[in-house]
Each structure stands twice: as C-alpha cells, then as structure tokens.
Amino acid sequence: MKAAVLLGPKKLEIQEVPKPIPKYGEILVKVKATAICGTDIAIFEGRPKVNYPRILGHESAGEIEELGKGVKNLKVGDRVVMNPTSYCGTCLDCMTSNTNICKNGGLFGREFDGTYAEYVTLSENRAYKLPDSISCIDATTFIVLTTAVYSQRKIDIIPNSSVVVIGEGPAGLMQTKLSKLRGANPVIGISRSQWKLDLAKSTYGADYVFNEDAVKKIYELTKGRGADYVIECVGKSITMNMATELVRPGGTILAFGVNAQGIENFNSYALYYKDLKIIGSRAMQLIDWPLSIDLANTGKIDIGTIITNRLPLRDLMKGFKMLGDPSQKALRIIIEI
C-alpha cells in the first residue's frame, strides 16, 4: 500500500509499504480521508521526535475492509471515524475514565504508524460508526470537535456568561459554536485574519469579532468588567498574556492552544492578582465521541464548513506548505486517499 513515511526530520517520502493485518480485536480500515493537523507538521519538523521510520497522520475516517478475530460490534463496510489515541484500559487513569492521559497510550503518527496511508489497523473500541448524514471527509473534523467538547466540559460555561475565543482556526471555531450552544452571551472572536472572523460570525455564532483594538473593545462590551471566560486557542505568550488581560477578576482561562516548547514571558502574576482559574485540556475522553457525533448528526454544529481544501496523498507536502502560508487562506486541508 502507499503511505507517507517520515524517515527523519523534514524527510518525507510516499512509499510502498506492507499492508497491515488486523490482530485479535482489531479492524482493518481503508482510509478515505485524513486532515492535516499542526501536530503532524510538528512531528514532520522533528518536534517531538519519533522512532523512524514513521507513517504520519491521525485525524481520519474510512471504511472497514476486514475484521480480526474477536470483533463483535462492527462489520465489513461500516464507515467509521477513528479515535487517534490509544489507551491501555488497565492503569489507574483509564480505570477512572481518564483515558486521554493514559501513560501507556499513544497517538497515530507519533507513537505508532498513522493514517496518511491506504490502510490502517486499530482496536475495535477506537472506531465509531458514522451516521449516513456524515461523510468521511467531514468526519475528520470530529478529532477537533471532540477535544473542544472535552475542554468545555471542564469549564462548564453557564448561560449569559461572556466568552472570548482567541484564535479562530478550526479549534477556535468549534469553541465559538459550542460556547453559543451553551448559552453564552456575548461570544466574542479574536483573530488576525478577517476572513476567519467572518466565518466565526456568519456560521459559528460569534456575536462580535475583532482583529484590532480587541482589549479596549471587549472592556467596553463588558462594561469594564472583563470576560467571564477566555478560551486561548493559539498557545503563544502574546495570546496567553492577552487572555489574562481580558478575563475578569475571578474568571477562567481555558488554555487550549498547544505549544510543546512551553510559553516564555507569560505574565503569571495576573493569576495571583486577579485570582484566576487556568484550565488545561488534553485530547478527549471516550464520552466525547458519541456526544460530538450527535451534535453533528442533529445539525447543531456544522463540521464541514471549515474544510477549505482537498488534496491527494502525493500532494501532502504541498498541503503542509499551504497550511503555513496565510495568503493561501487554507483553514483545514483534507488528504483524500
């Protein structure tokens, strides 16, 4: 089968590799679509390092082609979205439903081979059957949505509270819509890209959007109080410091943006002075999959609108470059396999 194999930092080749064989309790999935994620690009660049060679890719959906022995709840031909994280099921974290922080777990494309490939195997309990209303292309967005759903379960937004979302990329747009569904008012989006702000307002429910003078305008909207919740989706010092500036005293910051290198020059004094709560969030838990699938299937959230580009596997590197080039206006790129 064809697969995108990472041989070392920034050394990627489309190669012919052996087709995997499902073990006991596993399924073989013919991959239909895999999204390009910032995590894929970070691994490609060598941060974090992986054991080479490694097949990249993790945000994917496809069709079951073969069942291993012991598979009970799925059948050949089922279309599924795949949980890219593995977990052991026996450690203390797993026993308390915290499978997202299982120390024995891993991620497609990082700890084990991923989904920029024609086929992949995984355990049956990591595959979720798709309703007829959801395509495999759109289903790749569930990996973004499930992480947003999990993070918002941790902060429990209440109706009529004010929410600011910093960074209106795919994750920020999901956070914006979920905040509105929870009854937040106003929901305010911040981004450097006007076209992303337009999408946040037209499709994902933002009441106000700003790309300049955001701090001043948000304090005017909140009558000088600041926002009840600030959801930071960038992971940089400038945006984390903006979050501490925008949140009201006693408010909550959801630190959703990922930065594996850490955040330098973060103004932690504000945590003391404003008596803030700062909440981290990693991946998703099992319950977030059926919750997210139901949100999309019932039309409460549009998971397809953020998809801007589709490319074949051979153009994966082109997709990486497009995602890093603001002039391309590439919000979410799907690799069709």
- Would you list the DSSP string of 226-276? -EEEEEE-S-SHHHHHHHHHHEEEEEEEEE----TT--TT--THHHHHTT-
Is residue 229's pLDDT more than 80?
yes
- Predicted confidence at residue 332, as pLDDT, reads 97
pTM, full prediction? 0.95
For the chain, give the mean pLDDT: 96
Of the chain, the percentage scoring pLDDT greater than 90 comes to 93
The superfamily in CATH containing domain 2-140+307-336 is: Medium-chain alcohol dehydrogenases, catalytic domain (3.90.180.10)
Mean per-residue pLDDT, 302-322 = 97
pLDDT tier for residue 260 given thresholds of 50, 70 and 90 = low
For the segment 40-81, what is each residue's pLDDT rounded down to a tens digit?
999 999 988 899 999 999 999 999 999 999 999 999 999 999
Q: Are 318 and 130 in contact (CB under 8 A)?
A: no
Is residue 180's pLDDT more than 80?
yes
CATH class of domain segment(s) 145-280: alpha beta
31-70: string of b/e by CB count within 10 Å (b at 16+)? bbbbbbbebbbbbbeeeeebeebbbbbbbbbbebebbbee
Q: Are 284 and 150 in contact (CB under 8 A)?
A: yes
Which of 211-220, 259-268, 298-307, 321-330 has the lowest average pLDDT? 259-268
Is residue 304's pLDDT more than 90?
yes
Q: Measure Cα distances from 328 to 107, 114, 173, 308, 333 in Å.
A: 29, 26, 18, 10, 11
Q: Where along the chain do its domains lie? A: 2-140+307-336, 145-280
- Predicted confidence at residue 264, as pLDDT, reads 77
Is residue 19's pLDDT more than 80?
yes
For the segment 153-176, what is each residue's pLDDT rounded down to a tens digit?
999 899 999 999 999 999 999 999
Mean per-residue pLDDT, 296-307 = 96
Is residue 15's pLDDT more than 90?
yes
Helices (H) and strands (E) in the chain, counts: 11, 18
All residues at 6 or more sequence positions from 313 whose CB lies less than 8 Å from its CB, including other chains: 2, 4, 14, 116, 335, 336, 337
Distance CA 56, CA 64 (A): 20
- Predicted confidence at residue 175, as pLDDT, reads 98
Lookup: tokens for 153: 């379960």
How far is the first Cα of the chain from the last one, in angstroms, to the nearest whole number?
A: 11
- Predicted confidence at residue 156, as pLDDT, reads 87
- Predicted confidence at residue 111, as pLDDT, reads 96
Alpha helices in the chain (DSSP H): 38-44, 92-95, 136-139, 142-155, 170-181, 194-202, 214-221, 237-246, 269-273, 288-297, 316-323
Mean per-residue pLDDT, 180-191 = 98
